[in-house]
Structure 1
Amino acid sequence: MAPDDRRRMIVRAVLPLVVEHGRGVTTAQIARAAGIGEGTIFRVFQDKDELFDACVEAALDPAEALEMIGEIPADLPLEKRLAEAVEALNAHMQRMGAVMGAARAGKGRLSPEEARNRKSVTGDSRRESLEAMQRAVRELFVPDAERLRLPVDKAASLFLSLLFSHSRQLPGGPATAEMIDVFLHGSVHA
């Protein structure tokens, strides 16, 4: 197996363990989940910190959510297209938060150099991720472009902003269907 493929395979196998055990996951558990020997882990990753960093990077990757959004039929009503997109993006954000929180738990404070490096890497990844999400969500609005009061790009951007704030929902806050309804139709009776 090519080194990059082996690396991806190990990360994919370890992600659920990181969420469950955080930094306490053992190399024996990692090896068992990945179906490899413990020594193989350290031929692919310098140490467990590098493996955890790779898990965080994989959690930031929205590819699975974007694929699900790309498969939403364009002939569905806009409300249903947006609801399916919310479901895919919420699952991505929950997975991302769980992995990042678990991988960071117990690590302690980053040195100033580590913080600068991480901010640079995650900042680039985050920006690329957000741009990819915006492009995918934009396509959901295209079939209804004539009905929109805003340009498609602005509608997608505004919708994502609302979705991201909705993901940190306050108790008693709106359900997804209510959020989509208010987004599309406003909160004041005409």
Structure 2
Amino acid sequence: MTDTSSTPPRRRAPAMDSDQRRAMIVAAALPLVVEYGAAVTTAKIARAAGIGEGTIFRVFADKDALLAAVMAEALRPDDAVVHLKAIALDQPLADRLTEAAEVMRGYLTRMGTIIGALAATGGMDRSSHLKPGKDGLPNRETGLAAPRAALAALFEPDRDDLRLSPERLADAFQLQLMAAGRLGASEPPTPEELVELFLFGAFTGSREVR
């Protein structure tokens, strides 16, 4: 007979608190909302999260509240801001802005994809929960304010050589990135191309601007 007296008892994983469970459900729902929009069922989300469907309704009042939490997560700029602040300031401005353009493209794409999926399936019109500014859901401007401040910090080391303040340049650069994301071109400008256009304009250095 095997002696099990020295074998420690197995411990159950600690139970999630409501915030952790909420975050887990939202993470599972995000790709499903991209695929199905507002038509996604709570049953699908529950299967993806590995929980019973009833567990969702112990955390969220209804499906619209869950979809609102998914949109809030898409609008949340925290991860983008962390990456923007991590960009090394001792490299040339063009390199700083190229890294920033890649970060912002990812954030804006995620935000646009979720909003587009919900709008395409009627969720934005059907539910007041999904309207920015309702029930604590941030609007787009709120989501872009923190990244804009982080972008301004990237211009700051070159302040004395800039035509405009870092704050105004950050606003203009952010607007350019947002516009580029909406062009729908088959070959959208690369981050390097966008930065070159922003810093040096459309003409090459050999041509005089009239």
Shorter-chain TM-score bucket reads: 0.7 to 0.9
Superposed CA RMSD: 2.5
Distance in 2 of aligned mates of 1:7 and 1:56: 14
Please report how far the alpha carbon of residue 131 of structure 1 lies from its aligned counterpart in structure 2 after TM superposition. 1.2
Instruction: Give the TM-score normalised by structure 1.
Output: 0.86
Structure ID, larger Rg? 2
Please report how far the alpha carbon of residue 72 of structure 1 lies from its aligned counterpart in structure 2 after TM superposition. 1.0
1:58 aligns with 2:92: no
Name which of 155, 160, 169 aligns with 1:146: 160
Name which of 80, 88, 105 aligns with 1:90: 105
Instruction: Give the TM-score normalised by structure 2.
Output: 0.78
Please report how far the alpha carbon of residue 132 of structure 1 lies from its aligned counterpart in structure 2 after TM superposition. 0.7
Letter of the aligned partner of 2:122 in structure 1?
A: K
Distance in 2 of aligned mates of 1:157 and 1:62: 16
The residue aligned with 1:26 is 41
Unaligned runs of 5+ in 1: none
The residue aligned with 2:6 is none
Distance in 2 of aligned mates of 1:173 and 1:36: 40
Distance in 2 of aligned mates of 1:59 and 1:108: 15
Distance in 1 of aligned mates of 2:68 and 2:50: 21
Identical aligned residues as a percent: 43
Structure 1 stretches of 4+ with a deviation exceeding 6 A read none
Residues 53, 173 of structure 1: alpha-carbon distance in 2 compared, 3 angstrom cutoff: closer
1:99 aligns with 2:114: yes
1:179 aligns with 2:194: yes
Distance in 2 of aligned mates of 1:85 and 1:22: 29
1:6-55 C-alpha deviation (Å, 9 max, x unpaired): 21221112101111222333333212222322110011111111111111
Letter of the aligned partner of 1:73 in structure 2?
A: A
Unaligned runs of 5+ in 2: 1-15
Residues 48, 176 of structure 1: alpha-carbon distance in 2 compared, 3 angstrom cutoff: same
**Higher relative contact order by CA 8 Å / sep ≥ 6: 1 or 2?**
1
1:79 aligns with 2:64: no
1:110 aligns with 2:125: yes
Retained in 1: the 8 A contact 2:89–2:154? yes
Residues 187, 110 of structure 1: alpha-carbon distance in 2 compared, 3 angstrom cutoff: closer
Query: Greater helix percent: which structure?
Result: 1
Distance in 1 of aligned mates of 2:169 and 2:70: 32
1:40-88 C-alpha deviation (Å, 9 max, x unpaired): 0011111111111111111111111111111111112111111111111
- The aligned length equals 188
Retained in 1: the 8 A contact 2:124–2:131? no
Q: Secondary structure at the match of 2:133?
A: helix
